[in-house]
Amino acid sequence: MTGKIAYINARVIDPASGLDAPATAKGGVLTDGTRIMAIGPDIFATGTPSGAEIVDCEGAVLTPGLVDMRVDFCEPGNEHKEDIESGSRAAAAGGVTAVVTLPDTDPTIDDASVLEFVARRARDVKLVKVFAYATVTRNADSDEIVEMGLLKQAGAVAFTNGRSAVANAKTLSRALKYALAFDALIVQHPEEPTLSNGGVMQSGELATRLGLPGIPREAETIMIDRDLALVKMTGGRYHAAHISTAESVAKIRAAKAAGLRVTCDTAPPYFALNELAVGEYRTFAKLSPPLRTEDDRQAIVAGLADGTIDCIASDHLPQDQESKRLPFEQAEFGAAGLESLLALTLELVHNEHLELSAALAKVTARPAELLNLPVGRLHVGGPADMVIFDPDHPCRIEPDNFTSKSKNSPFDGRLVQGRVIRTIVDGRTIYTAAS
């Protein structure tokens, strides 16, 4: 068990409480074992406690560890792409201290035993905190609703069919209704499969030039429209995952204004890239939903800025080389995202779309609040889950250096600012940047 540790010279930002204390030698965070003992700009005014280890943060930012509400650790079933250990290490390297994994594994997380398997693996690995979704329907593809009550008791934080939509309107409306009994959240991949099927990238000029079958934006907006109507009908709690179009933002903005219990998130590709990243058949830019147009990208940024979009998730979807080194139409969808999440979120700050604290809220307090997770904020007595990072440090995203088993990043070679210096979970340092 670790003893007291004093983190000094850190700019401490806690988006949940609004704390933003400048870096001084007299202030910072004091932890004891797994817990936070004190936070503030002058807690060490009379010196650090005797016997405490001192970590000099040298002016870096200290915030709650990132909470990534959408990752795929591919375990059980696809451990050659990622497993709970490699995924956890990637999270740690990305400054992420809590993740929520998707349930469309093989087998899917549709009963408590698979959920318990994931929890046990995460306990054994003992790096970041791994939470899990359960599916909405059995096997993530049927119309049979899972045992939501039992799964929630067993620890499922919310329900989603992961990378596929709950396409059947009756099934979704029943799920939304049934979930009310347990105040459970339904997370939707908003894409109408009968419209998107066969498509591999955003429909439009580039797809036409490349000769690739397109996915129109309407595949997403139709589904969001329909789902919002079902939310209104049932009164259920609904979250649209990785929204990517301007119209989706507008619809959710309106739904929120109308008082529906609706939230949403997006992922860095949708605010930092557009369809042109596909270039000449770059399969690393083959994502689901597809990268959209520049207008959409700007609307996503605006949605993040005005709070319509609650959270940013990495949408970490590792794919091995064999799944990507294929003709575009045959390649798998998805990108590894954990290790670029922080730097890309900070782009919103450097580009002056969001204040630092507001940007951090979308990857810490807000997802934790939505999913009711006991993480994502700094408070006395709370778990010492923290990340220390330099928000200005220039670097290049180099997937070859990723800790993740998979290196499929559409941000390959991108110049960014922001570097994780240290990741701490329950008071224990699980990652330190090579100096």
Partner 1 sequence: MRNNALQYRESRPYIPALMTAATTGLSAHDLPAEFPFPHRHLLGIQDLSPDEITYLLDLSNHYAEHNRARGPKFDLMRDKTLINLFFEDSTRTRTSFELAGMRLGADVINIAVANSSIKKGETIVDTAMTLNAMHADALVVRHSNAGAVKLLSEKVNCAVINGGDGSHEHPTQALLDALTIRRHKGSLQGLLVALCGDVAHSRVARSNIYLLQTMGARVRVIAPPTLIPAAMERLGVEVFHDMRAGLEGCDIVMMLRLQRERMEGSFVPSVHEYFQFYGLDYDKLQHAKPDALIMHPGPMNRGVEIDSDVADDLDRSLIREQVEMGVAVRMACLDVLTRKRFVAAS
Binding stretches for partner 1 (CB under 8 A): 203-205, 207-212, 214, 216, 280-281, 322, 325-330
> What gap in Å lies between CA 241 and CA 262, rounded to an integer?
11
Q: Three-class SS of residue 207?
A: helix
> Closest separation between CB of residue 215 and partner 1, Å?
10
Distance of CA 339 to the CA centre of its chain: 11
Nearest residue (CB) to partner 1, 215 versus 387: 215
Q: Do residues 320 and 80 touch, judged by C-beta distance below 8 A? A: yes
Contacts of 315 (CB under 8 A, 6+ apart): 70, 71, 242, 267, 268, 269, 287, 334, 335, 337
Closest CB to partner 1 among residues 210, 229:
210
The minimum distance between CB 397 and partner 1, in angstroms, equals 22
Q: Which residues are catalytic?
A: 315
Residue with smaller CB distance to partner 1, 200 or 299? 200
CB of 37 to partner 1, least distance (A): 55
Least spacing, CB of residue 43 vs partner 1, in Å:
58
CB of 190 or CB of 216, closer to partner 1: 216
Compute the least distance from the CB of residue 431 to partner 1, in Å.
Answer: 35
DSSP code string of 90-130: HHHHTTEEEEEE-S-SSS-S-SHHHHHHHHHHHHHH-SSEE
Nearer to partner 1, 332 or 355 (CB): 332
Cβ-proximal residues to 184 (8 Å cutoff; 6+ apart), any chain: 148, 152, 158, 159, 237
Spell out where 346-414 has E strands: 386-396
For residue 227, CA distances in Å to 150, 170, 262, 278, 420 come to 25, 11, 10, 30, 38
For residue 5, which phi and psi values (nearest 5 degrees)? -130, 130
Give the nearest distance from C-beta 212 to partner 1 in angstroms: 5
Main-chain dihedrals φ then ψ at residue 58, nearest 5 degrees: 50, 40
- How would DSSP label each residue in 212-239? --EE-THHHHHHHHHHHHHHHHH--EEE
Report the residue number, 94 or 289, with the smaller CB distance to partner 1. Answer: 289
For residue 274, count other CB atoms closer than 10 A to its CB: 21
Angle of helix 84-93 relative to helix 112-125, nearest 10 degrees, comes to 60
| C-beta closer to partner 1: residue 330 or 351 | 330
Complete DSSP assignment for 248-295: HHHHHHHHHHTT--EEEEE-HHHHH--GGGGTTT-GGG--SSPP--HH
- Alpha-carbon distance of 261 to 361, in angstroms, equals 19
Min separation Cβ 283 and partner 1, Å: 9
- Of the two residues 11 and 324, which places its CB atom closer to partner 1 in the complex? 324
Minimum separation from the CB atom of position 399 to partner 1 (A): 18
For 340, the token pair is 């670029």
Q: Are 367 and 311 in contact (CB under 8 A)?
A: yes
